[in-house]
Amino acid sequence: MMGWSEKDIPSQHGKRVIVTGTGGLGFQAARALTAKGADVVLAGRNPDKGTKALARIRAITPDAKITFERLDLASLASVSAFAGRMSDDGRPLDLLINNAGVAIVPKRQETQDGFELQIGTNHIGHFALTMRLMPLLLKARAPRVVSLSSNMHKRGTINFDDLQLARKYSPAGAYGQSKLATLMFALELDTQMKQQGLPVISAAAHPGIARTDLMNNGPAGQPVLQAVSHLIERIVGQSAAEGALPLLRAATDPAVRGGEYFGPAGCTEAKGAPELVQASPKAKDAAARRRLWQVSVRLTGTEMPIPA
Protein backbone atom coordinates (compact mmCIF):
# COMPACT_ATOMS: atom_id res chain seq x y z
CA MET A 1 0.00 0.00 0.00
CA MET A 2 1.40 3.37 -1.05
CA GLY A 3 1.77 6.14 1.48
CA TRP A 4 0.00 9.49 1.40
CA SER A 5 1.02 11.63 -1.59
CA GLU A 6 0.04 14.79 -3.44
CA LYS A 7 -2.59 12.72 -5.27
CA ASP A 8 -4.46 12.50 -1.96
CA ILE A 9 -4.86 16.28 -1.64
CA PRO A 10 -8.56 17.05 -2.11
CA SER A 11 -9.74 19.89 -4.33
CA GLN A 12 -8.73 23.28 -2.96
CA HIS A 13 -10.95 25.30 -5.32
CA GLY A 14 -12.44 28.32 -3.59
CA LYS A 15 -9.91 28.28 -0.75
CA ARG A 16 -7.68 31.22 0.12
CA VAL A 17 -4.25 30.18 1.39
CA ILE A 18 -1.21 32.03 2.74
CA VAL A 19 2.16 30.26 2.67
CA THR A 20 5.21 31.90 4.25
CA GLY A 21 8.55 31.26 2.58
CA THR A 22 9.16 31.33 -1.17
CA GLY A 23 11.79 28.58 -1.50
CA GLY A 24 12.11 24.93 -0.59
CA LEU A 25 9.09 23.63 1.30
CA GLY A 26 7.11 26.85 0.90
CA PHE A 27 7.51 26.75 -2.85
CA GLN A 28 6.53 23.08 -3.01
CA ALA A 29 3.48 23.61 -0.80
CA ALA A 30 2.34 26.55 -2.93
CA ARG A 31 2.94 24.58 -6.13
CA ALA A 32 0.89 21.62 -4.93
CA LEU A 33 -1.97 23.73 -3.58
CA THR A 34 -2.30 25.89 -6.69
CA ALA A 35 -2.37 22.71 -8.78
CA LYS A 36 -5.42 21.69 -6.74
CA GLY A 37 -7.13 25.04 -7.35
CA ALA A 38 -6.27 27.07 -4.25
CA ASP A 39 -5.87 30.85 -4.40
CA VAL A 40 -2.41 31.22 -2.83
CA VAL A 41 -0.53 34.19 -1.44
CA LEU A 42 3.18 33.36 -1.28
CA ALA A 43 4.81 35.59 1.34
CA GLY A 44 8.52 36.26 1.71
CA ARG A 45 11.24 38.83 2.29
CA ASN A 46 12.74 38.93 -1.18
CA PRO A 47 10.55 40.19 -4.06
CA ASP A 48 13.00 38.87 -6.67
CA LYS A 49 12.81 35.34 -5.24
CA GLY A 50 9.06 35.67 -4.95
CA THR A 51 8.66 36.72 -8.58
CA LYS A 52 10.84 33.83 -9.74
CA ALA A 53 8.84 31.37 -7.62
CA LEU A 54 5.59 32.59 -9.17
CA ALA A 55 7.02 32.20 -12.67
CA ARG A 56 8.10 28.62 -11.93
CA ILE A 57 4.67 27.72 -10.56
CA ARG A 58 2.86 29.28 -13.53
CA ALA A 59 5.11 27.32 -15.87
CA ILE A 60 3.78 24.16 -14.21
CA THR A 61 0.17 25.34 -13.74
CA PRO A 62 -0.54 28.10 -16.26
CA ASP A 63 -3.88 29.04 -14.69
CA ALA A 64 -2.47 29.08 -11.14
CA LYS A 65 -4.09 31.61 -8.83
CA ILE A 66 -1.04 32.90 -7.00
CA THR A 67 0.41 36.24 -5.96
CA PHE A 68 3.47 37.35 -4.01
CA GLU A 69 3.41 39.67 -1.00
CA ARG A 70 6.41 40.95 0.91
CA LEU A 71 6.65 39.76 4.50
CA ASP A 72 9.66 39.94 6.81
CA LEU A 73 8.96 37.79 9.85
CA ALA A 74 11.96 39.37 11.59
CA SER A 75 10.01 42.64 11.76
CA LEU A 76 6.77 43.00 13.71
CA ALA A 77 6.03 46.14 11.70
CA SER A 78 6.26 44.12 8.48
CA VAL A 79 4.00 41.43 9.95
CA SER A 80 1.42 44.04 10.92
CA ALA A 81 1.56 45.73 7.51
CA PHE A 82 1.20 42.39 5.71
CA ALA A 83 -1.81 41.40 7.82
CA GLY A 84 -3.35 44.78 7.11
CA ARG A 85 -3.01 44.26 3.36
CA MET A 86 -4.51 40.79 3.62
CA SER A 87 -7.47 42.24 5.53
CA ASP A 88 -8.23 45.01 3.04
CA ASP A 89 -10.80 43.01 1.08
CA GLY A 90 -12.18 41.18 4.11
CA ARG A 91 -11.99 37.81 2.39
CA PRO A 92 -11.92 34.75 4.68
CA LEU A 93 -8.62 32.91 5.08
CA ASP A 94 -9.01 29.15 4.87
CA LEU A 95 -5.42 28.06 5.46
CA LEU A 96 -2.29 29.62 6.93
CA ILE A 97 0.96 27.69 6.53
CA ASN A 98 3.64 29.02 8.87
CA ASN A 99 6.64 27.63 7.01
CA ALA A 100 9.37 30.27 6.58
CA GLY A 101 12.42 30.12 8.80
CA VAL A 102 16.13 30.48 9.39
CA ALA A 103 18.44 27.80 10.78
CA ILE A 104 21.76 27.33 12.58
CA VAL A 105 22.79 31.00 12.42
CA PRO A 106 26.50 30.84 13.42
CA LYS A 107 26.70 34.09 15.39
CA ARG A 108 23.94 35.57 17.49
CA GLN A 109 21.89 38.04 15.46
CA GLU A 110 18.81 40.06 16.37
CA THR A 111 15.61 40.92 14.56
CA GLN A 112 14.51 44.51 14.08
CA ASP A 113 12.66 44.25 17.40
CA GLY A 114 15.63 42.93 19.36
CA PHE A 115 14.71 39.24 19.42
CA GLU A 116 17.30 36.52 18.80
CA LEU A 117 16.98 35.90 15.07
CA GLN A 118 15.96 32.23 15.06
CA ILE A 119 13.21 32.36 17.68
CA GLY A 120 12.27 35.83 16.46
CA THR A 121 11.68 34.61 12.91
CA ASN A 122 10.60 31.02 13.39
CA HIS A 123 8.27 31.50 16.35
CA ILE A 124 7.64 35.09 17.43
CA GLY A 125 7.05 36.41 13.91
CA HIS A 126 4.67 33.57 13.09
CA PHE A 127 2.87 33.96 16.42
CA ALA A 128 2.23 37.63 15.65
CA LEU A 129 1.19 36.79 12.09
CA THR A 130 -1.31 34.17 13.23
CA MET A 131 -2.86 36.50 15.80
CA ARG A 132 -3.10 39.33 13.24
CA LEU A 133 -4.77 37.04 10.69
CA MET A 134 -7.10 35.33 13.17
CA PRO A 135 -10.12 37.53 12.29
CA LEU A 136 -9.82 36.36 8.67
CA LEU A 137 -9.40 32.73 9.71
CA LEU A 138 -12.51 32.93 11.88
CA LYS A 139 -14.52 34.03 8.84
CA ALA A 140 -13.74 30.79 6.99
CA ARG A 141 -15.93 27.70 7.10
CA ALA A 142 -13.19 25.26 8.14
CA PRO A 143 -10.02 27.27 8.86
CA ARG A 144 -6.69 25.64 9.52
CA VAL A 145 -3.23 26.76 10.69
CA VAL A 146 -0.21 24.53 10.07
CA SER A 147 3.19 25.28 11.60
CA LEU A 148 6.51 23.82 10.53
CA SER A 149 8.63 22.37 13.32
CA SER A 150 11.70 20.12 13.09
CA ASN A 151 12.90 16.85 14.53
CA MET A 152 15.50 19.03 16.25
CA HIS A 153 12.74 20.28 18.54
CA LYS A 154 13.51 17.17 20.59
CA ARG A 155 16.91 18.65 21.45
CA GLY A 156 15.48 22.07 22.21
CA THR A 157 14.77 23.75 25.53
CA ILE A 158 12.74 26.89 26.14
CA ASN A 159 15.07 29.14 28.12
CA PHE A 160 12.43 31.26 29.83
CA ASP A 161 15.09 33.05 31.90
CA ASP A 162 17.09 33.94 28.76
CA LEU A 163 14.72 33.45 25.85
CA GLN A 164 16.80 35.68 23.58
CA LEU A 165 19.98 33.75 24.50
CA ALA A 166 21.84 36.94 25.33
CA ARG A 167 23.94 35.19 27.99
CA LYS A 168 24.71 31.93 26.20
CA TYR A 169 24.21 31.32 22.48
CA SER A 170 24.78 28.25 20.33
CA PRO A 171 23.53 27.97 16.73
CA ALA A 172 21.96 24.52 17.13
CA GLY A 173 20.60 25.30 20.59
CA ALA A 174 18.89 28.43 19.30
CA TYR A 175 17.40 26.53 16.38
CA GLY A 176 16.17 23.71 18.62
CA GLN A 177 14.56 26.23 20.97
CA SER A 178 12.83 28.00 18.08
CA LYS A 179 11.42 24.78 16.63
CA LEU A 180 10.29 23.53 20.04
CA ALA A 181 8.52 26.87 20.48
CA THR A 182 6.89 26.47 17.06
CA LEU A 183 5.50 23.05 17.96
CA MET A 184 4.37 24.18 21.42
CA PHE A 185 2.56 27.10 19.79
CA ALA A 186 0.79 24.83 17.29
CA LEU A 187 -0.41 22.50 20.05
CA GLU A 188 -1.43 25.31 22.39
CA LEU A 189 -3.28 27.14 19.62
CA ASP A 190 -5.37 24.04 18.99
CA THR A 191 -6.05 23.67 22.71
CA GLN A 192 -7.21 27.27 23.00
CA MET A 193 -9.40 27.00 19.92
CA LYS A 194 -11.15 23.95 21.32
CA GLN A 195 -11.55 25.52 24.77
CA GLN A 196 -13.19 28.59 23.24
CA GLY A 197 -15.36 26.57 20.88
CA LEU A 198 -13.77 28.19 17.82
CA PRO A 199 -13.47 26.36 14.49
CA VAL A 200 -9.76 26.86 13.75
CA ILE A 201 -7.79 23.62 13.52
CA SER A 202 -4.09 23.84 14.36
CA ALA A 203 -1.62 21.11 13.41
CA ALA A 204 2.14 20.83 12.89
CA ALA A 205 4.62 19.01 10.70
CA HIS A 206 8.31 18.45 10.15
CA PRO A 207 10.04 17.58 6.85
CA GLY A 208 12.65 15.14 8.06
CA ILE A 209 15.90 15.82 6.22
CA ALA A 210 14.93 17.61 3.02
CA ARG A 211 17.02 19.23 0.33
CA THR A 212 16.00 22.87 0.78
CA ASP A 213 17.70 26.26 0.97
CA LEU A 214 16.97 26.71 4.68
CA MET A 215 20.65 27.04 5.59
CA ASN A 216 20.93 29.88 3.07
CA ASN A 217 18.16 31.94 4.67
CA GLY A 218 20.11 33.36 7.60
CA PRO A 219 23.02 35.79 7.59
CA ALA A 220 25.88 35.10 5.23
CA GLY A 221 29.18 33.65 6.34
CA GLN A 222 28.39 29.98 6.97
CA PRO A 223 29.72 28.22 3.83
CA VAL A 224 31.15 25.27 5.78
CA LEU A 225 27.85 24.65 7.59
CA GLN A 226 25.99 24.95 4.30
CA ALA A 227 28.31 22.46 2.58
CA VAL A 228 27.99 19.90 5.40
CA SER A 229 24.22 20.34 5.52
CA HIS A 230 23.85 19.86 1.77
CA LEU A 231 26.04 16.74 1.86
CA ILE A 232 23.91 15.17 4.61
CA GLU A 233 20.75 16.05 2.70
CA ARG A 234 22.04 14.33 -0.43
CA ILE A 235 23.12 11.17 1.40
CA VAL A 236 20.22 10.50 3.78
CA GLY A 237 17.57 13.04 2.90
CA GLN A 238 14.71 13.46 0.47
CA SER A 239 13.67 16.07 -2.06
CA ALA A 240 11.97 19.31 -1.10
CA ALA A 241 8.76 18.04 -2.72
CA GLU A 242 8.88 14.94 -0.52
CA GLY A 243 9.80 17.02 2.51
CA ALA A 244 6.71 19.17 1.97
CA LEU A 245 4.33 16.20 2.16
CA PRO A 246 3.94 16.20 5.97
CA LEU A 247 3.11 19.91 5.76
CA LEU A 248 0.60 19.30 2.98
CA ARG A 249 -1.03 16.39 4.77
CA ALA A 250 -1.44 18.46 7.93
CA ALA A 251 -2.90 21.23 5.77
CA THR A 252 -5.35 19.24 3.65
CA ASP A 253 -6.15 15.79 5.04
CA PRO A 254 -9.88 15.83 5.92
CA ALA A 255 -9.20 13.43 8.80
CA VAL A 256 -7.13 16.03 10.70
CA ARG A 257 -9.00 17.22 13.79
CA GLY A 258 -6.34 19.41 15.39
CA GLY A 259 -3.29 18.81 17.55
CA GLU A 260 -1.71 16.33 15.13
CA TYR A 261 2.00 16.32 14.29
CA PHE A 262 3.09 14.83 10.97
CA GLY A 263 6.54 13.74 9.80
CA PRO A 264 8.24 11.14 7.59
CA ALA A 265 7.33 7.55 8.44
CA GLY A 266 10.91 6.19 8.49
CA CYS A 267 12.35 4.90 11.77
CA THR A 268 14.57 7.99 12.12
CA GLU A 269 11.91 10.29 10.61
CA ALA A 270 14.51 11.45 8.08
CA LYS A 271 12.49 10.51 5.01
CA GLY A 272 9.40 8.62 4.02
CA ALA A 273 5.68 9.06 3.48
CA PRO A 274 3.97 11.48 5.89
CA GLU A 275 2.47 9.88 8.99
CA LEU A 276 1.58 10.90 12.53
CA VAL A 277 4.72 11.19 14.66
CA GLN A 278 5.35 11.91 18.31
CA ALA A 279 6.07 15.32 19.77
CA SER A 280 8.58 15.40 22.62
CA PRO A 281 7.40 15.49 26.25
CA LYS A 282 8.62 19.10 26.41
CA ALA A 283 6.30 20.05 23.56
CA LYS A 284 3.38 18.39 25.36
CA ASP A 285 4.00 20.23 28.66
CA ALA A 286 0.73 22.14 29.03
CA ALA A 287 2.02 24.55 31.70
CA ALA A 288 5.10 25.42 29.65
CA ARG A 289 2.97 25.92 26.54
CA ARG A 290 0.69 28.35 28.38
CA ARG A 291 3.71 30.21 29.73
CA LEU A 292 5.26 30.49 26.28
CA TRP A 293 1.94 31.76 24.94
CA GLN A 294 1.79 34.48 27.59
CA VAL A 295 5.39 35.50 26.89
CA SER A 296 4.67 35.62 23.16
CA VAL A 297 1.63 37.84 23.71
CA ARG A 298 3.75 40.24 25.74
CA LEU A 299 6.62 40.30 23.25
CA THR A 300 4.44 40.83 20.20
CA GLY A 301 1.75 43.08 21.62
CA THR A 302 -0.85 40.81 20.06
CA GLU A 303 -3.42 38.49 21.56
CA MET A 304 -6.23 36.21 20.51
CA PRO A 305 -9.10 38.26 19.09
CA ILE A 306 -12.37 37.33 20.79
CA PRO A 307 -15.24 37.07 18.28
CA ALA A 308 -18.22 39.32 18.95
Catalytic residues: 175
Q: Residue 195: how many CB atoms within 10 A of its CB?
A: 8
DSSP symbols for 22-86? SSHHHHHHHHHHHHTT-EEEEEES-HHHHHHHHHHHHHHSTT-EEEEEE--TT-HHHHHHHHHHH
Contact 190, 203 (CB under 8 A): yes
88 burial level (CB within 10 Å; 0-12, 13-18, 19+): exposed
CA distances from 139 to 135, 136, 281, 308 (A): 7, 5, 34, 12
Residue closest to 148 by CA, chosen among 279, 246, 278, 23? 246
Amino acid at 166: A
Contact 50, 237 (CB under 8 A): no
Contact 94, 142 (CB under 8 A): yes
In whole angstroms, give the CA distance from residue 250 to residue 286.
22
Q: Mapping DSSP to helix (H, G, I), strand (E, B) and coil, where does residue 158 land? A: coil
CA distances from 223 to 45, 104, 213 (A): 21, 12, 13
Rg (CA), the chain: 18
Contact 222, 241 (CB under 8 A): no
Amino acid at 63: D
